[in-house]
Amino acid sequence: MPRGGTSAPRRRTSSAKSAAATGSPDELVALGARIRELRLARGLRQAEVAGDEMSVAYVSRIEAGQRRADTRVLGIIAERLGTTAAHLLTGRDPDDDNRLVLALRYAEIAFRSGELAEAERQLLDLANESLRGRWRDEAQALLAATYEAQGRLAEAAELYEQLGDSADGAGWLRARIGLCRCYREAGDLAHAIDIGEQAQAQLAERGLAGLDEALQLTLTMAAAYFERGDVFHATRLCQQVVAAAEERGTPAARGSAYWNASVIAYNQGDHHEAVRLAEKAIALFGEGDDARNLSRLRLQLGTSLLAEDPPAVEAAEQQLTRARIELVAAGAGQVDLARCDADLAHARLLAGDLDEAERLVDQAEQEAADAPLALAHAHALRARIAVARGDAHAARASYRRAVTALTGASADREAAQLWYQLGAELDEVGDDSGAHDAYRRAGASLGLRTTSAIAPAPVKRG
């Protein structure tokens, strides 16, 4: 605009649809205040900002929040103030954005390295900053995963719930998967399945049906169905995912499918097939960088090797020892560590090293303090060590502690299996009433009214 004019340039390009051109009165006032503050800080007069392109009066009205500036004018003002249009519009310097994104990446590295407290500290600091768009969603998803890895499922679920309401696309789907997983791990299987089914019903509408995350959602639901005792349906879901994953050829999707199929084979007593499928899954996960799930998969393989007939103790210990190192490095939760230590204790028990087995059980019990099923497994293993020592009194006390821990677990298939084991082993140490109660609870866990014809079954984890 010629110098001396009193209005903004009349000619507008399509790029003029900026926040300044369409901003609310409050946004215009904030924009004007930033321009005035920077101008004064630079020691410039309004005439120097106006130059030959606009009038001093026009600059004055922009600073007062009375005029809108299109993108061309805003760019001219920003250049003369030594900043960017984005900074004038948002109050944020590009260097600030770079700093925040760098802090987010640092938090991600801390999380993947197992430094969960440091990751949480960084992410909480970022929560006080005005992260925007996908960076905000990414930070919230990472904080939820950090809480989940620490076993703080309620806090993680709350964040996943919030993220599911605000995120779009794959971010929304990953948040629903995380929420489903949290409820499953907390034992609320019905709610976990409801969340998964509702998300699945929206996949096509949201254009997400072809993503690997859609297969992951199905597998997460399959695990919840299986734990609830719906073995047939869980098996069918896993078979569907295996077929879809083979067709797509994505290593992560195929590995997840084999992993879940391995868990089902294990729980159906086909331990040789469970080992075969877990080994295939490990080969596929080894192609990626998902260290946490690779370590958990090694844990599954070690558990399956111990369950073979005869137990492959040496091979199992190799997998479990490596799994524990990787679990710690990947920031795995206390429940995974407890299960790994319990399996290592089981291996030492089978090898006849009772002192080391007991030390590992001590460790597992501490790690599983807030996880009823994992704690019950550790107590039951301590009882088996006591039996091996010939101490029936200590064995009975440990079984009783396992029973007490199980009362805090959900009535699912894994709980039922452990109740059956407890019934059989309480029988062995002469606790008839305890054994009868354990069998009754096993039947109740599976929705049965009577257990008189039910024999003890092997437990998932030793």
Q: What is the number of other CB atoms lying within 10 angstroms of the CB of residue 285?
A: 24
Number of H helices, E strands in the chain: 25, 0
- Position 428 scores a pLDDT of 78
- pLDDT, tens digit only, all 462 positions of the chain: 333 333 333 333 333 333 334 356 777 888 888 888 888 888 888 889 888 888 888 888 888 888 877 778 888 998 888 887 777 776 766 556 667 777 888 888 788 777 788 889 888 888 766 666 677 888 899 999 999 888 888 999 999 998 877 777 888 999 999 999 999 888 788 999 999 999 999 998 888 888 888 888 998 998 888 878 788 888 888 888 878 877 776 777 788 888 888 888 887 788 998 999 899 889 888 777 677 788 989 999 999 999 998 999 999 999 999 999 988 887 777 888 999 999 999 999 999 999 999 999 999 999 988 788 789 889 989 999 998 998 888 988 888 888 788 776 654 566 677 778 778 877 877 888 888 887 887 777 665 543 333 233 333 333
Q: Is residue 64 part of a domain?
A: yes
Q: At what angle do helices 291-307 and 251-267 cross, to 10 degrees?
A: 30
Per-residue confidence (pLDDT) for residue 161, from 0 to 100: 92
Q: How far is the C-alpha of 207 from the C-alpha of 251, rounded, in Å?
A: 22
CATH of the domain at 42: 1.10.260.40
Question: 284, 286, 234, 288: which is closest to 261 by C-alpha?
Answer: 234
| pLDDT confidence of residue 177 | 94
Length of the chain: 462
Whether 86 is covered by a domain: the verdict is yes
CB-based contact 282:298 (threshold 8 Å): yes
Residue at 453 is within a domain: no
- Could you tell me if residue 352 is inside a domain? no
In a domain, 84, yes or no: yes
Per the CB < 8 A criterion, the answer to whether 400 and 439 are in contact is: no
How many domains are contained in the chain?
Answer: 1
In a domain, 272, yes or no: no
Residue 53 lies in a domain: yes
Q: Which two tokens stand for residue 346?
A: 């089981």
Say which DSSP state 379 is in: H
Domain boundaries, position 62: 14-91
> Is 65 part of a structural domain of the chain?
yes
